Structure 1
């Protein structure tokens, strides 16, 4: 078991080829997962002024 497991409340995944497999595996471990549609995530991020990996992660959160 991961040392960070007890801190996880919700995991957000962008829909993609592996997302169904990840969703199923995390759900078996009791972790709540939300799948986000790729087009909606892209539209939201394109409106951001400052683009960085950190800001992308915050936007997804």
Structure 2
């Protein structure tokens, strides 16, 4: 891994806990509508989907 990629991954890993705690509240009883209405939840879902798509594209490009 190049130094740029390593520092980018480290920066993103450092930012994830801050995004995960973006708003206070108990999510034990949160329903699906709460998860798709809140912008911070949508952002994390979007990042996760983008990471999976990126990984799949990179793996297919190797073959």
Band of TM-score, shorter chain: under 0.3
TM-score of the aligned structures, taking structure 1 as reference length: 0.24
Q: Which has the higher strand share?
A: 1
Q: Which has the higher helix share?
A: 2
TM-score of the aligned structures, taking structure 2 as reference length: 0.23
Higher relative contact order (CA 8 A, sep 6+): 1
